[in-house]
């Protein structure tokens, strides 16, 4: 697959990941057990804020692979 197509698909995948991650984070943040404690909220927001990086890393590395050179 050409690098331009990988970058297009990877960009779409990253946008979908960010949207789904945000919606899930907002849903979890509304739970009563989390809203009761400031410490739990702080831990949750740090983990939720940084947590999207782990699933995004394979997408970014796949996007940045160089094109294969045809065998000659």
Tens of pLDDT, residue by residue over 1-53, are 888 889 999 999 999 999 999 999 999 888 888 888 889 889 999 999 898 89
Helices (H) and strands (E) in the chain, counts: 4, 0
Q: Does 27 fall in a domain? A: yes
The pLDDT of residue 20 is 94
> For the chain, what is the domain count?
1
Question: In 10 A of CB 24, how many CB atoms?
Answer: 13
Domain that holds residue 52: 22-63
pTM reported for the whole predicted model: 0.77
Three-state secondary-structure class, residue 16? helix
User: Are the CB atoms for 63 and 6 separated by under 8 Å?
Assistant: yes
């Amino acid at each position: 697959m050409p690098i331009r197509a990988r970058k297009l698909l990877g960009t779409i995948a990253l946008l979908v990941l960010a949207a789904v991650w945000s919606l899930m984070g907002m849903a979890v943040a509304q739970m009563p057990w989390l809203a009761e404690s400031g410490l739990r909220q702080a831990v949750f927001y740090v983990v939720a804020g940084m947590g999207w990086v782990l699933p995004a890393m394979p997408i970014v590395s796949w996007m940045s692979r160089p094109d294969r050179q045809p065998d000659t």
